[in-house]
Structure 1
Amino acid sequence: MAFTLYSLIQTAILCTNAIAVLHEERFLSKVGWGVDQGVGGFGDDPGIKAQILNLIRSVRTVMRVPLILVNSACIVLLLLFGSRREVLLLKVFSMAGRRALKAVLIDLSGTLHIEDTAVPGAQEALNRLRQASVAVKFVTNTTKESKRTLLERLQRLNFDLKEKEIFTSLSAARSLLEQKQHRPLLLVEDGALEDFTGIDTTEPNAVVIGLAPDHFNYQTLNKAFRMILDGAPLIAIHKARYYKRKDGLALGPGPFVTGLEYATDCKAVVVGKPERTFFTQALSDLGCSPGEAIMIGDDARDDVGGAQNAGMLGILVKTGKYREGDENKINPPPHLTCDSFPDAVEYILKNLL
């Protein structure tokens, strides 16, 4: 009897959700938009399409809340008073309704390591994750060093990964430069220049800024300022406010990009996290959609917020640049906030696979 009642309520919930999705898709198709259609490219502000899409999804989410509460109450009652057969069927039903997870995107600096020190237990946790039936990719805004140098650093720390598994904001920036045929003034550390080999930098007509402490001086920034005033586009590899070093937090490129934006009255094109395009590019060769992926990172806005805005789940870890209360700075909040990468992996293995 209890399971019959639960089944009826589950059927009602599924039908209601299907109707909501159907009406959403019908409305969007009438105005020429697909539910999964992109609404902007590199650095685009959320336009009217993005705002309406978010409104539709928000309304549908709110409509589900009463159904979810009723469903949860029925599950509790069934577990307390149902027979062993009914509880077993409930477990099967719940497993069938789980989100299909196909890929895990993992931030590097602050999540797996801090400079030349690994997060405790991160290597073993990564090995456990690799044994599961899920694709793994490493996504990072690191611009201090080339992908090859970064890989060598991680391998010295006994992390099992290959260069092709790493997708960096430098890769995204190079892709944009090639697409637009820009000749950049590269404000990046010398160690990162390797990833721009072959890009024409003679008579630059675009300004590209990454993390470049050795180049963030008045003379260089003033040169960039004058170029932008003359019409050169400003391209930010990312706009992180700060990052974690062994000696504490340090300024990221974001404050310098913002300073140039203010001085020139222009807006930078951003290519790294938290841009939606960055995440979709990272997933492009994994054969899965954002709805089938999850992101683990230490930056609430760039890692978790960016991933969730792209349609993924996001797990925030309390290592690296994490500061108390960061999980409250984004909306919606993280799917999960946990102490470290090993805890995130444990949650995924137990609840999402």
Structure 2
Amino acid sequence: MAFTLYTLIQTAILCTNAVAVLHEERFLSKIGWGVDQGVGGFGDDPGVKAQVLNLIRSVRTVMRVDIEGQNEAGAAPDICRGTATNAHTHTEISVIQRLQPLPIIKQVSSMAGRRALKAVLIDLSGTLHIEDTAVPGAQEALNRLRQASVAVKFVTNTTKESKRNLLERLQRLNFDLQEKEIFTSLSAARSLLEQKQHRPLLLVEDSALEDFTGIDTTEPNAVVIGLAPDHFNYQTLNKAFRMILDGAPLIAIHKARYYKRKDGLALGPGPFVTGLEYATDCKATVVGKPEKTFFTQALSDLGCSPNEAVMIGDDARDDVGGAQNTGMLGILVRTGKYREGDENKINPPPHLTCDSFPDAVEHILKNLL
């Protein structure tokens, strides 16, 4: 009796399921995959399509053998034979419906792990060049990067020279770039001065003063300090010290500890800014790298957010650490000011540490695009 009841129930289920799908082609049509179409998540890759078809046929074959085996054992009658065949197809649908999402989920997961890269920010001094010497292969690597579907912008804390002078230096080194593509900490400092309507005491090199043309410097009420070796003397620093004590804000174009010259490492403005902070018991406003506002300003006209950009630089803290704290990926290069172990000085560590700018470009082209 129990055997007969089981047989009747199974037969009823098989017959009911047969109404849903009649054969393999109906199944393919049901999921939106015609002869010349690809499944949404799979695309039109013929190799993938063949694999899925084989999977469908394999499942159907297994289920047919199973049910036909039951027939041979007398578990299922021969009635509704065509329906049983249709039930095989339904069974394969039930299995495939459970299996089908797996590769799609894997694809989404893989895409989630890779960012949609839209922009690359590139440091200049120490990354593309050291004074009047280009990093080997940097020009060719930059040309390769420009051929990819990403925006390129050059961001620098250089305060020794104006943007125009910097552009001329780079063009002499055969780098293909335009002035509008360069965003400097001098530009960020000028924007802040205009916003706050400060009249600055400018502690920058004379070659950088061009970028402050039009800014009122009479009777200064703010101290702006960049890299100014020719002005870092006791008299000038003491004047800045007294102004800050009297309430003038201290604005640091950046606070880099040191930078690379062709004769070796040299002090950056950071030690002098820190000295004034210590003497006056105040905190400087920093406008250049590694500040978040610097990076977001640099990206503002590129139409992308930080999580769609990557930064390449030789300074672990200012270039890479600052970029990653903003939400970007950071690639550290072992040129310029880099010293062994710099990648361990920031948390999280760099997305990648490589030998030079060309290696960084190679990684981007192969893994991030």
Structure 1 residues 43, 346: CA separation in 2 closer, same or farther (over 3 Å shift)? closer
Deviations 1:300-342 (A, max 9, x none): 0000000000000000000000000000000000000000000
Deviations 1:238-290 (A, max 9, x none): 00000000000000000000000000000000000000000000000000000
Q: CA deviation at 1:125?
A: 0.1
- Supply the distance in 2 between the matched residues of 1:63 and 1:211 (Cα, whole angstroms): 77
Q: Specify whether residues 58 and 195 from structure 1 end up closer, same or farther in structure 2 by C-alpha distance, changes over 3 A only.
A: farther
Change (3 A) 1:337 1:61: farther
Deviations, residues 141-167 of structure 1 (Å, cap 9, x unaligned) = 000000000000000000000000000
* 1:205 CA drift (Å): 0.1
Task: Report the number of matched residues.
Answer: 333
Q: Distance in 1 between matches of 2:45 and 2:278?
A: 17
Tell whether the 8 Å contact from 2:41 to 2:104 is kept in structure 1 after alignment. no
Preserved contact between residue 42 and residue 269 of structure 1 (Cα < 8 Å): no
Higher RCO structure (Cα 8 Å, ≥6 apart)? 1
| 1:94 CA displacement | 3.6
User: In percent, how many aligned pairs have the same letter?
Assistant: 94
TM-aligned CA distance change 1:290 to 1:177, over 3 Å: same
Call closer, same or farther: CA 1:201–1:158 in 2, change over 3 Å.
Answer: same
- Is the 1:43–1:270 Cα contact (8 Å) retained in structure 2? no
Per-residue deviation at 1:36?
Answer: 43
CA-CA distance at 1:99 after TM superposition: 1.1
TM-score normalized by the length of structure 2: 0.71
1-structure distance, mates of 2:43, 2:238: 23
Q: Is the 8 A contact 1:43 1:268 kept in 2?
A: no
Q: Does 1:248 align with 2:259?
A: no
Shift of 1:25: 44
Cα distance change of structure 1 residues 21 and 147 upon mapping to structure 2, 3 Å threshold: farther
**Unaligned ranges ≥5, structure 2:** 66-100
1:273 & 1:128 partners in 2: Cα distance?
A: 26
Task: Tell me how far 1:98 sits from its aligned partner.
Answer: 2.3
Instruction: Label 1:47 to 1:143 Cα distance change in 2 as closer, same or farther (>3 A).
Output: farther
Aligned equivalents of 2:283, 2:54: Cα separation in 1: 23
Kept in 1, the 8 Å contact 2:320–2:350? The answer is: yes
User: Structure 1 residues 109, 312: CA separation in 2 closer, same or farther (over 3 Å shift)?
Assistant: same
SS at match of 2:140: helix
Compute the displacement of 1:348 (Å).
0.1
Q: CA, structure 1 residues 196+136, in 2 after alignment: closer, same or farther (shift >3 Å)?
A: same
Q: Give SS of 2:22's match.
A: helix
User: Residue by residue, what CA displacement relative to the aligned partner does 1:96-150 show, whole Å, maximum 9, x if unpaired?
Assistant: 7521000000000000000000000000000000000000000000000000000
**Deviation digits for residues 192-240 of structure 1, max 9, x if unmatched?**
0000000000000000000000000000000000000000000000000
Kept after mapping to 2: 8 A contact 1:42/1:271: no
- Which runs of 4 or more aligned residues in structure 1 lie more than 4 Å from their structure 2 counterparts after TM superposition? 1-70
Higher gyration radius (CA) = 2
Secondary structure of 1:21's match?
A: coil
Counterparts of 2:46 and 2:32, CA distance in 1: 18
2:42 touches 2:104 (CA, 8 Å); kept in 1? no
Q: Relative to structure 1, is the Cα distance of residues 30 and 40 closer, same or farther in structure 2, using a 3 angstrom cutoff?
A: closer
Change (3 A) 1:52 1:169: farther
Q: Is the 8 A contact 2:38 2:44 kept in 1?
A: no
Partner of 2:43, secondary structure, is coil
Tell me if the contact between 1:295 and 1:312 (Cα under 8 Å) persists in the aligned partners: yes
Listed as ranges, the gaps of 5+ residues in structure 1 are 71-90
**Counterpart position of 2:87:** none
Question: 1:21 aligns to what?
Answer: 21
CA contact (8 A) 1:43 1:269 kept: no
Matches of 2:3 and 2:127, distance apart in 1: 43
Displacement of 1:297? 0.1
Tell me the distance in 1 between the aligned counterparts of 2:131 and 2:7. 52
CA distance in 1, matches of 2:243, 2:324: 35
Determine helix, strand or coil for the equivalent of 2:21.
helix
8 Å contact from structure 1 (residues 104, 136) kept in 2: yes
| Cα shift at 1:32 | 44
